[in-house]
Amino acid sequence: MDKDHIRNFCIIAHIDHGKSTLADRLMDVTGTVSEREAKDQLLDNMDIERERGITIKLQPVRMFYQLDGEEYMLNLIDTPGHVDFTYEVSRSLAACEGAVLVVDATQGVEAQTLTNVYLAIDNDLEVIPVINKVDLSGADVEGTRKEIEDIIGIAAKDAPAISAKTGLNVEAVLESIIYNLPAPKGDDHAPLKALIFDSVYDNYKGAISFIRVMDGSVKVGDRIKMFSTGKVFDVTEVGVFTPKMVPVKELSAGEVGYLAASIKNVSDTAVGDTITFAEGGTKEPFPGYKAVKPVVFAGIFPADGSKYTELREALEKLKLNDASLFFEPDVSAALGFGFRCGFLGLLHMEIIEERLEREFNIDLVTTAPSVSYKVYKYGGEVLNVDNPSHLPSPSEIDYMEEPIVRATLFTPPEYVGPIMELCQGKRGIFLDMSYVDTSRAKITYDIPLAEIVYDFFDDLKSRTRGYASMDYEIIGFHKSELVKLDIMLNGEVCDALSLIVHKDDAYGRGRGIAEKLKEVIPRQMFEIPIQACVGGKVIARETVKAMRKDVLAKCYGGDITRKKKLLEKQKEGKKRMRQVGSVSLPSEAFMSILKR
């Protein structure tokens, strides 16, 4: 198909405004089989993603539509919508020329509407608004048009008013896509330059890259290389998404599809990387590639020590499809054998943890997430420490550095105050504030990554009713007055509860953690003193009183079997707790130390 008749686009929307429904309807109207009808295993992940409030990611799909006697190829590419995955989002957007913006006529422009639109605009996409759910009684079409024009600043006079649910006027969306979105550009005769915007692992075909061909073309048998690593592969299959993957002879400039080349490792199909020919390939890669590096680390341990092997296998399986998941074996005195894992961010970590628990059925105990610090020892040695319990003793440490991010926050002007308060409270250093337009302020802060890693994003969203968005980038390591906060239970340090904190925060955090632990640790047969210490000095303490009574129940002839079962349950319950010396800790204890 010639490029003039191709349109590459994505659909963006606030959650529940109708993105998936519209996608389904577009596929219906164009006669493409709906992906959801072909029950896919990906739906499981989608439950988790849905619960987190991020948009469900669909596989790309190629549709055909006839308009004015001409046939057009419409490629729909989807994007995940969370700041942890901003990089992935930007690469998916880079594969498109335009975005269809769906706004619910009963809700109007909402938080994610904005953040997604800004992302699209920042990536030079043409945005065409669509007003949805006009069939509902609360629909205010004209009001919504006005909001789009005033708040977002794009023309909405001719935006199609549709109902994705009933199919009303959905053809107008297709027409708008064809008329208003630019056709892809690209040189058919230049050497191959293809952008990888996603990848998936297949047991038979190996790692499969989802690509947008920018220049040139690719077919089976071509010898290709990955720009970032220089690794060379032979193409075994190219194809398109119907949405099922279907092989084709060749993919050319402007097209979207997939490529398989017996690639064993999904890290060789890095998102954002450029694919070109091994010989005589393009000189310049597609801009914007970033090597994926973990930013948040946590210890993941099986609640039941005997499931260690299962956990390892599960992580290996997950890594097949997730090049940004890192892990290596780890040992904790409190939690036994497990893994130290690296993630792109907190959401990434939570998704992995949930998948391990739900899909692989492994009960986990996880430590609080931490970042990686640079430790400069006396004598010149420099260590990278991402596990607080691996920190050398204070007497050996000359100074420490922590990673700092440059956070760029976009917000409606009325939330500037709360945001600045939030950032100051996280040891942020104010850099700049400006107005992008009347509806958007841009604030820049340098903030320690450790302060962002736990609940900064959620806090930001709640202070700004979801309207603010954030982008951040690690800009380097800065020297900081950091100390190790230890928690002792019954006089013994529990290594899995240790944290690295800023010296000014130590007292507050220590006290907060001791109080939280007192709530979370169930009464046991002995009294349990909880002590928070820094450098051997106790800075806060609480006590869990000894249990005074368990159950005073009958135990007569007919009760014996039931009584035994109860005792078994009690023992099972205890087994699910972690023994730290003589104290039984429920798994919630480890994450609870983070809540302030």
Do residues 304 and 349 make contact, with C-beta atoms less than 8 angstroms apart?
Answer: no
Pairing of strands 98-104, 6-13: parallel
Prior bond to 129 cis, omega within 30? no
Smallest gap from Cβ 302 to another protein, in A, equals 23
550 counts as binding another protein under rule CB under 8 A: yes
Smallest gap from Cβ 520 to another protein, in A, equals 17
All residues at 6 or more sequence positions from 64 whose CB lies less than 8 Å from its CB, including other chains: 30, 31, 32, 71, 72, 73, 74
Q: Quick one: which segment of 293-301, 390-398, 431-439, 554-562 binds another protein (CB under 8 A)?
A: 554-562
Q: Quick one: which segment of 65-73, 361-369, 443-451, 552-560 binds another protein (CB under 8 A)?
A: 552-560
Do residues 553 and 562 make contact, with C-beta atoms less than 8 angstroms apart?
Answer: no
549 counts as binding another protein under rule CB under 8 A: yes
Smallest gap from Cβ 580 to another protein, in A, equals 16
Element (H, E) at 86: helix 86-94
Q: Which of 547, 579, 595, 596 binds another protein (CB under 8 A)?
A: 547
Element (H, E) at 25: helix 19-29
Q: Which of 70, 136, 555, 575 binds another protein (CB under 8 A)?
A: 555
Q: Quick one: which segment of 45-53, 127-135, 444-452, 547-555 binds another protein (CB under 8 A)?
A: 547-555
Q: Please, which residue, 179 or 526, has the CB nearer to another protein?
A: 526
Binding-residue pattern over the window 473 to 512 for another protein, x denoting contact by CB under 8 A: ----------------------------------------
Q: Please, which residue, 574 or 595, has the CB nearer to another protein?
A: 574
Q: Please, which residue, 543 or 570, has the CB nearer to another protein?
A: 570
136 counts as binding another protein under rule CB under 8 A: no
Do residues 522 and 586 make contact, with C-beta atoms less than 8 angstroms apart?
Answer: yes
Considering only residues 163 to 202 of the shown chain, the ones binding another protein according to CB under 8 A are none
Tokens read off for 9: 């686009």
565 counts as binding another protein under rule CB under 8 A: no
Q: Quick one: which segment of 154-162, 399-407, 429-437, 551-559 binds another protein (CB under 8 A)?
A: 551-559
Strand order in the sheet with 336-343: 326-332, 336-343, 296-302, 364-366
Smallest gap from Cβ 582 to another protein, in A, equals 9
CA dihedral 500, 504, 507, 508 (to 10 degrees): -90
Smallest gap from Cβ 558 to another protein, in A, equals 4
Smallest gap from Cβ 301 to another protein, in A, equals 24
575 counts as binding another protein under rule CB under 8 A: no
Give the separation between CA 313 and CA 183, rounded to whole angstroms. Answer: 45
564 counts as binding another protein under rule CB under 8 A: yes
**Angle formed at CA 568 by CA 564 and CA 573, multiple of 5 degrees:** 150
Q: Which of 244, 571, 575, 596 binds another protein (CB under 8 A)?
A: 571
Q: How far is CA 286 from CA 8, 178, 192, 215, in A?
A: 17, 26, 11, 10
Q: How many residues bind another protein (CB under 8 A)?
A: 23
Q: Which of 38, 291, 474, 567 binds another protein (CB under 8 A)?
A: 567
Return the amino acid letter for 262.
S
Q: Please, which residue, 414 or 550, has the CB nearer to another protein?
A: 550
Q: How far is CA 559 from CA 209, 324, 552, 555, 572, in A?
A: 62, 54, 13, 5, 20
Q: Quick one: which segment of 155-163, 335-343, 363-371, 550-558 binds another protein (CB under 8 A)?
A: 550-558
Smallest gap from Cβ 555 to another protein, in A, equals 6
Cα 336 to the chain's mean position, in Å? 28
Q: Which of 563, 586, 588, 594 binds another protein (CB under 8 A)?
A: 563
Cβ count within 10 A of residue 230: 8
Q: Please, which residue, 474 or 567, has the CB nearer to another protein?
A: 567
> Where do the H-state alpha helices sit in 129-251?
141-147, 170-180
527 counts as binding another protein under rule CB under 8 A: no
Q: How far is CA 337 from CA 297, 303, 309, 332, in A?
A: 16, 10, 10, 6
**Angle formed at CA 345 by CA 422 and CA 91, multiple of 5 degrees:** 110
Q: Please, which residue, 288 or 573, has the CB nearer to another protein?
A: 573
Q: Which of 179, 396, 560, 596 binds another protein (CB under 8 A)?
A: 560
Q: Which of 574, 575, 595, 596 binds another protein (CB under 8 A)?
A: 574
Binding-residue pattern over the window 237 to 266 for another protein, x denoting contact by CB under 8 A: ------------------------------
Q: Please, which residue, 574 or 596, has the CB nearer to another protein?
A: 574
Q: Please, which residue, 230 or 557, has the CB nearer to another protein?
A: 557
Q: What is the Cα gyration radius of the chain?
A: 27
Q: Please, which residue, 52 or 563, has the CB nearer to another protein?
A: 563
Q: Which of 381, 570, 579, 596 binds another protein (CB under 8 A)?
A: 570
* DSSP category for residue 91: H
Q: Which of 39, 189, 249, 554 binds another protein (CB under 8 A)?
A: 554
Smallest gap from Cβ 27 to another protein, in A, equals 46
Give the separation between CA 258 and CA 276, rounded to whole angstroms. Answer: 14
Residue 65 CB burial class (10 angstroms; 0-12, 13-18, ≥19)? buried
* DSSP category for residue 32: P
Q: Please, which residue, 46 or 566, has the CB nearer to another protein?
A: 566
Smallest gap from Cβ 559 to another protein, in A, equals 8
Give the separation between CA 596 and CA 594, rounded to whole angstroms. Answer: 6
Smallest gap from Cβ 557 to another protein, in A, equals 5
Give the separation between CA 287 and CA 76, rounded to whole angstroms. Answer: 22
Q: Please, which residue, 479 or 571, has the CB nearer to another protein?
A: 571
Q: Which of 68, 249, 537, 556 binds another protein (CB under 8 A)?
A: 556
Give the separation between CA 11 and CA 100, rounded to whole angstroms. Answer: 5
Give the separation between CA 394 and CA 400, rounded to whole angstroms. Answer: 10
User: Interface with another protein by CB under 8 A: which residues?
Assistant: 523, 525, 547-558, 560-561, 563-564, 566-567, 570-571, 574
